[in-house]
Amino acid sequence: MAQELVMYTRTATCPWVSLARQVLRDNGLPYREVNIDQDPAARERLLGWTGFLSVPTILVAEPGSDLPIAPPAPLAQGASPRGIDRGVMITEPDAQQLAVWLLARGFLGQ
């Protein structure tokens, strides 16, 4: 099945978003951005998934879809999603967490 990376972002500059963009760019990985400040439905989806307006939230989707290919692993209520591998989703990862997540999903070679 074809898969695509989708990154939920905001309009304001964010060091976590900049870091994720750099990791994806350095590895030559195409991705698509969904801006939650310009898409109220995306904003609500992100709140439902993370409990926060946490960006970047990166997910594995079918091409053209803004939804994960499967439900993300649940978070404990009120828990921070930062850096947690939720299967098809990761939120606010550092460079190493993102690389490990991408490798586990088959986007990076071993």
State pLDDT tens for residues 4-57.
Answer: 999 999 999 899 999 999 999 999 999 999 999 999 999 999 999 999 999 999
Q: Which two tokens stand for residue 13?
A: 């500059």
CA dihedral 12, 89, 38, 76 (to 10 degrees): -80
Q: Which pLDDT does position 110 carry in this prediction?
A: 53
| Rounded-to-integer distance, Cα 92 and Cα 98, Å | 9
Output the CA–CA distances (angstroms, integers) from residue 99 to 17, 24, 43, 86, in the order listed. 14, 9, 25, 14
Spell out the CATH class of 4-104.
Answer: alpha beta
Domain boundaries, the chain: 4-104
Tens of pLDDT, residue by residue over 54-102, are: 999 999 999 999 999 999 999 988 889 999 999 999 999 999 999 999 9
Where would I find the H helices in 1-110?
Answer: 15-26, 40-50, 95-104
